[in-house]
Amino acid sequence: MRVLITLCVVLLTLAFPLSGQLEETDPYSINFVQRTLNLHEQGIHISIVDKRIPWRGDETSIALLKIFSEEQLSSSQVVATFLPLIQESFSEPQSILVNIDKKPRVTLFLLKYLQRNISDAQTQRNVEETIKFVEEKTAPN
């Protein structure tokens, strides 16, 4: 059984483009973000995938807005699945590949939208912590 699970993980790893081959057909990395969320929801973290998250910055929030409906963005459970991904996307701002994505304009817009539309107190605190994290990481030196 462990061999089968290991084989599945390896196959999933290979399903992710290693050199950005899908960039032209997926300019906002929607497929990458969706697959990463699916893996993380299952408790699976693949090194090569997790290493690519800090390259994204604001691109991650653009993908999230395209993936989730307005109704889904009001769900504390949905928001809880992607807040860590947003933090990871800004964990190493110097590693973000596209300069415009180093500025968290879409991310802060999304987080402030969530702050106004989430009723769960714990999720609200998590959103506020994520806002602070992103602002600190992207503040001019």
| 40-97 tens-digit pLDDT | 889 888 888 889 998 999 999 999 999 999 999 999 999 999 999 999 999 999 999 9
- Cβ neighbours of residue 29 closer than 8 Å, sequence gap 6 or more: 23, 56, 59, 60, 63
Percent of the chain with pLDDT over 70: 83
Domain membership of residue 132 as a residue range? 2-138
pLDDT in tens, 9-33: 544 554 544 444 445 678 889 999 9
Q: State how many domains the chain has.
A: 1
pLDDT in tens, 111-141: 999 999 999 999 999 999 999 999 999 998 7
pLDDT of residue 14: 46
pLDDT in tens, 82-106: 999 999 999 999 999 999 999 999 9
User: Which two structure tokens, joined as six digits, stand for 86?
Assistant: 């947003």
Rounded to an integer, what distance in angstroms lies between the CA atom of residue 29 and that of residue 44?
Answer: 19
Q: Please, are residues 91 and 134 in contact by the beta-carbon 8 Å criterion?
A: no
Is 60 exceeded by the pLDDT of residue 8?
no
Q: Please, are residues 79 and 119 in contact by the beta-carbon 8 Å criterion?
A: no
pLDDT of residue 26: 81
Q: Please, are residues 85 and 37 in contact by the beta-carbon 8 Å criterion?
A: yes
pLDDT of residue 48: 87
N-to-C CA span, the chain: 50
